[in-house]
């Protein structure tokens, strides 16, 4: 068995680590010059998105022999709408780095592999099919899955973000739900340290958003962030991503080609979380190749989570700023706070079922 992995991102590296554990040494092909060769930004692993898993780091190390370290745990989350402020407290997850930094997830995974990586690779999928018995698509986007007509696009999103300097509590994050800043989208702040943080807005590229001026949105968002946290933040670096595809592959495996990460559809539509799902797709492919399970079966919970997340996203998109004010105010309710951090509940799955029923009933009543 000769295995090629296209892409040295989260899913590709997780796949390589797991294959090596079972005695298979894959060959990795990466088009960029190094692992994590992209802008630096903060991301998060939050157990509310991955129930019944309650600690993603412990789960990966104890069950899959993959070891990652966060920048900090999250103990408080501030929600800001146009006119309201809500707070959720408790063990809410962990912050991590992505991109060109030694502490990024990509770099941490890279240190755990022995497989050879061909950087600056221009090898095509078709070429690898000629030389390898199995090809793992882990390229970080859906281009190849779309090329072979194995991907259902649900939406595309645009992002703009920056690294900022200020004074931060490493354990506190913030989210903005305000259509004036990110129409049908969101903004967030994730600290890297006491002195640096990442701020980002993301919104869908729907027809009603096609004439938006991203610079105007960004200026409003930056001003609102500075006002809400009471600081004049200094921007030190910026990034922008346009029309990033979100969707889901129809078949996780076609012949001896496996689709992982964002080729599979690991990005969850509601708030853009997808790191754990991406890592798990790589692990599951390796387990399939080594006779430890079937990828299609192992990946079913990930597909279910994706669909639940899509329902929540569509519901959130229907909320105007007045309704977002109400939602953020409700988050201050102590009972809701306890439900959100209850390890025995999956609040997002519950919410998706309720919202799905509401949407169906709404359509039935429509003339």
Domains of the chain (ranges; CATH) run 3-365 (3.50.50.60)
Average pLDDT over all residues of the chain: 93
Most confident of 15-19, 148-152, 311-315, 325-329: 15-19
Q: What is the mean pLDDT of residues 20-28?
A: 98
Q: Are 349 and 339 in contact (CB under 8 A)?
A: no
Place of tokens 């951090």: 341
Q: Are 302 and 346 in contact (CB under 8 A)?
A: no
Q: What is the mean pLDDT of residues 155-176?
A: 97
Count of residues in the chain: 367
Q: Are 233 and 199 in contact (CB under 8 A)?
A: yes
Q: Answer whether residue 364 shows pLDDT above 70.
A: no
Q: Answer whether residue 365 shows pLDDT above 90.
A: no
Tell me how crowded residue 119 is: count the other CB atoms within 10 A of its CB: 14
Q: Answer whether residue 339 shows pLDDT above 90.
A: no
pLDDT at 344: 81
Instruction: Band the pLDDT of 352: cuts 50, 70, 90.
Output: confident
Q: What is the mean pLDDT of residues 79-98?
A: 96
Tokens of 360: 């169906």
H or E element in which residue 275 lies: helix 275-289
Q: Answer whether residue 48 shows pLDDT above 90.
A: no
Q: Answer whether residue 361 shows pLDDT above 50.
A: no
H or E element in which residue 173 lies: strand 172-176
Whole-number Å distance between alpha carbons of 338 and 341: 5
Instruction: Band the pLDDT of 348: cuts 50, 70, 90.
Output: confident
Q: Which of 23-27, 107-111, 288-292, 301-305 has the lowest mean pLDDT?
A: 301-305
Q: Answer whether residue 367 shows pLDDT above 50.
A: no
pLDDT at 52: 86
What is the pTM assigned to this prediction?
Answer: 0.93
**Structure confidence by residue, pLDDT tens digits, 138-161:** 999 999 999 999 999 999 999 999
% of the chain at pLDDT higher than 70:
96
Place of tokens 């509310």: 48
Q: What is the mean pLDDT of residues 210-233?
A: 96
pLDDT at 346: 80
pLDDT at 362: 47
Q: What is the mean pLDDT of residues 194-199?
A: 97
Q: Answer whether residue 351 shows pLDDT above 90.
A: no
Tokens of 292: 């430890």
Place of tokens 């229907």: 318
Whole-number Å distance between alpha carbons of 44 and 60: 15
Whole-number Å distance between alpha carbons of 64 and 54: 15
Beta strand 72-80 pairing with 172-176: parallel
Most confident of 6-15, 32-41, 325-334: 6-15
Task: Choose among 113, 102, 114, 134: nearest CA to 6.
Answer: 134
Is the model more confident about 177 or about 358? 177
């Amino acid at each position: 068995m000769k295995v090629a992995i296209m892409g040295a991102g989260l899913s590709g590296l997780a796949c390589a680590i797991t294959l090596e554990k079972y005695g298979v040494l894959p060959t990795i092909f990466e088009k960029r010059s190094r692992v994590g060769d992209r802008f630096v930004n903060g991301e998060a692993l939050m157990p509310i998105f991955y129930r019944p898993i309650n600690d993603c780091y412990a789960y990966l190390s104890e069950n899959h022999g993959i070891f990652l370290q966060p920048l900090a745990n999250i103990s408080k989350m501030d929600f800001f709408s146009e006119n309201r402020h809500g707070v959720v407290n408790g063990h809410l997850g962990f912050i991590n780095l992505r991109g060109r930094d030694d502490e990024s997830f990509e770099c941490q995974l890279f240190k755990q592999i022995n497989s050879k990586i061909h950087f600056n690779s221009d090898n095509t999928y078709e070429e690898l099919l000629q030389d390898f018995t199995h090809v793992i698509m882990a390229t970080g986007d859906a281009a190849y899955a779309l090329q072979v007509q194995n991907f259902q696009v649900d939406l595309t999103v645009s992002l703009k973000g920056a690294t900022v300097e200020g004074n931060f509590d490493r354990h506190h994050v913030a989210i903005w739900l305000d259509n004036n800043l990110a129409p049908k989208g969101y903004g967030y702040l994730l600290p890297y340290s006491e002195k640096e943080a990442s701020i980002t807005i993301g919104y869908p590229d729907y027809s009603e958003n096609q004439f938006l001026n991203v610079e105007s949105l960004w200026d409003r968002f930056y001003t609102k962030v500075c006002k809400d946290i009471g600081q004049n933040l200094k921007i030190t670096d910026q990034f922008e991503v346009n029309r990033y595809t979100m969707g889901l592959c129809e078949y996780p495996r076609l012949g001896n080609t496996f689709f992982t990460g964002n080729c599979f559809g690991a990005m969850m539509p509601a708030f853009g979380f997808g790191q754990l799902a991406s890592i798990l797709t790589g692990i599951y492919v390796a387990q399939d190749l080594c006779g430890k399970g079937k990828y299609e079966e192992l990946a079913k919970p990930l597909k279910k989570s994706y669909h639940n997340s899509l329902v929540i996203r569509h519901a959130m998109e229907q909320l105007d700023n007045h309704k977002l004010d109400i939602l953020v105010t409700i988050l201050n309710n102590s009972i809701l706070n306890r439900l959100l951090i209850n390890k025995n509940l999956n609040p997002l799955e519950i919410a998706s079922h309720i919202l799905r029923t509401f949407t169906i009933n709404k359509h039935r009543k429509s003339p």
